[in-house]
A and B are shown apart, each in its own frame.
Chain A
Amino acid sequence: MSTTTWDIELHNLSGGYNQTRILKGINGSLPAGKISVILGGSGCGKSTLLRHILGLNRPMEGSIRIGGHDFFTLDKSQFRKIRRRMGVLFQDGALLGSLTLGENVGLPLAEHTKLPKETIRKIVLHKLGLVGLAEYIDYYPNELSGGMRKRAGLARAIVMDPQILLCDEPTSGLDPINAAEMDQLLLSMKKHFPSMSIIVVSHDLESLNHIADNVLVINKGQAAYCGDLEGLQNSDDPYLKQLLSRQPNNIEQPAVSLGADIQAELSNWLR
């Protein structure tokens, strides 16, 4: 099986967990060589879509085509071949706590190649250098900050020079400076690996404006927009406008009001 381009195409994709349908017929395209941002509110199905692209969950309906191949109809060895060309940065890095940073980043190389330890260490140092963590190679994940763990997770994701890099909310939980650094890192990945498809799941608008070439917006499990960033910014769709301008929904007043006696009792306790 040879794949020259690594475009990802979603055809009428429906999926979820157990019997709960979260994605409801998504169509869209995530082109190779670009940074595609999957955008949407909390709980809209972004991470679920990511798990489907990774092959961790099977679709209930529809298909995911990667490089022209229907991902879930491939036989086991072809499926694994494509899987090995993917790198993933999970939300908290998902580094193995019992291994050092160097061992974590070098794990795929140690498991899938017969490279000598010294060579693996040099490659690991190079990849950690790309994310600015070369000097922390012998540290354990619990000795690092959240931002550093994410960067280390990114180093592990790119250690096998993947064709598809998927990042699950890379800037969530980071301060503005660290978030900006993460954006810079993703842009530098695009520069270092021009043919790589970079897919970023996010709800960070600042980040979107900095890094996105292509955007897939999901609302209530359906694709609300798929196209370039400019098209999204010029869209007249009310939901997209609300999302981009951070307008809240009208939150109704609580139906059950707290009685005066309970309020008084609570105040008494809090005094």
Chain B
Amino acid sequence: MQQQTGIQTNPVAALGRSTISFVNSLGDIFLFFLEGVRLIFSSPKQLTKIIRQMYFIGSKSLFVISLIGIFTGMVLGLQGYYTLVKFGSEGLLGAAVSLTLIRELGPVLTAIMITGRAGSSMAAEIGVMRISDQIDALDVMDINPMAYLVSPRIAASILCFPLLTALFDVIGILGGYLTGVTMLGINSGVYFYRIDTSVVMADVAGGFVKALVFGIIVSTISCYQGFNTHKRTDSVGPESVSNSTTAAVVLSCVLTLVSDYVITSFLL
């Protein structure tokens, strides 16, 4: 008994337990993702559900992505201009804005915005369905809840994240144009010429790879948290939905940034 108490209070043992639990969760999430992807192709009827989710994740995010994109580009234009002008290189503003957006800010900010808008909603909606027997009802009707709820969301995210990122990049570059060219007087031709000469296909492809990975991370984590709301040990009922939603947003954002670093280190 004493030995047991010793293990319970030993910080090294506690750290070990937390690590094992964390690694188990990661494995569980990965298997959840694989099952979700497998079921995308389970029936032609999945297409309708995927389109419905694309409307929710993609179309309904257009406004917020455009809004954040334009202001991000404007700030980059403003900051970039005053930094570059010190070195007499303000002509490079187009290159600075576009590369920053295409390589980094576009995929990351798009992912974080969609996490807040659609990821939280996925976790909350599936979580509420879990605690109100709706998922059990699907199960009993012999409708696979993973195929019905999770797969369409993962597929829609994989398709929508790169497209929204592309939109964010384009609008951001226009935002940079607005401050750099319209307000601060950089030559319009120089702005676009620098974009044309500095951005290569590898930058665009790298940005899309990131968007794709972020789409997988955000949708999988959000659906996983909602789907397993009933397994939470820290809370029950509506509070567990609230905690699942919070966990989905926090974990998605953290893993987005961590994976961004990992992918960047491979791409550079």
Spell out A's residues near B (CB within 8 Å). Answer: 51, 54-56, 80, 83-84, 86, 88, 90-92, 94-98, 107-108, 110-112, 156, 160
Give chain B interface residues in 110-148, CB to chain A under 8 Å. 125, 128-129, 132-134, 136-143, 148
Interfacial chain A residues near B137, Cβ < 8 Å: 88, 90, 94-96
Interfacial chain A residues near B141, Cβ < 8 Å: 107-108, 111, 156, 160
Please count how many residues in chain B sit with their CB below 8 Å of the partner chain's CB atoms: 16
Interfacial chain A residues near B139, Cβ < 8 Å: 56
Give chain B interface residues in 216-250, CB to chain A under 8 Å. none
- Given A96-B129, A97-B128, A111 contacting B134 (CB threshold 8 A): no
A90 closest partner in B (C-beta): B133
B133 closest partner in A (C-beta): A94
Give the distance in Å from the alpha carbon of A83 to the alpha carbon of B139 in the complex. 9
Indicate if the CB atoms of A83 and B134 lie closer than 8 Å: no
Q: A-B pairs with the 6 shortest C-beta distances?
A: A94-B137, A94-B133, A90-B133, A108-B141, A88-B140, A84-B142
- B140: contacting residue among A54, A91, A92, A110, CB under 8 A: A54
Chain B interface helix/strand/loop/mixed: helix
Give the distance in Å from the alpha carbon of A156 to the alpha carbon of B140 in the complex. 12
Indicate if the CB atoms of B45 and A94 lie closer than 8 Å: no
Interfacial chain B residues near A112, Cβ < 8 Å: 142-143
Contacts A91-B133, A95-B137, A111-B143 known; list 8 others, CB within 8 Å.
Answer: A54-B140, A83-B140, A92-B132, A94-B134, A96-B137, A98-B125, A112-B142, A160-B141
Interfacial chain B residues near A94, Cβ < 8 Å: 132-134, 136-137
Interfacial chain B residues near A160, Cβ < 8 Å: 141
Interfacial chain A residues near B140, Cβ < 8 Å: 54-56, 83, 86, 88
**How far in angstroms is the closest Cβ of chain A from B31?**
18
Interfacial chain B residues near A110, Cβ < 8 Å: 45
- A80: contacting residue among B132, B133, B142, CB under 8 A: B142
Give the distance in Å from the alpha carbon of A88 to the alpha carbon of B140 in the complex. 7
Interfacial chain B residues near A108, Cβ < 8 Å: 141-143
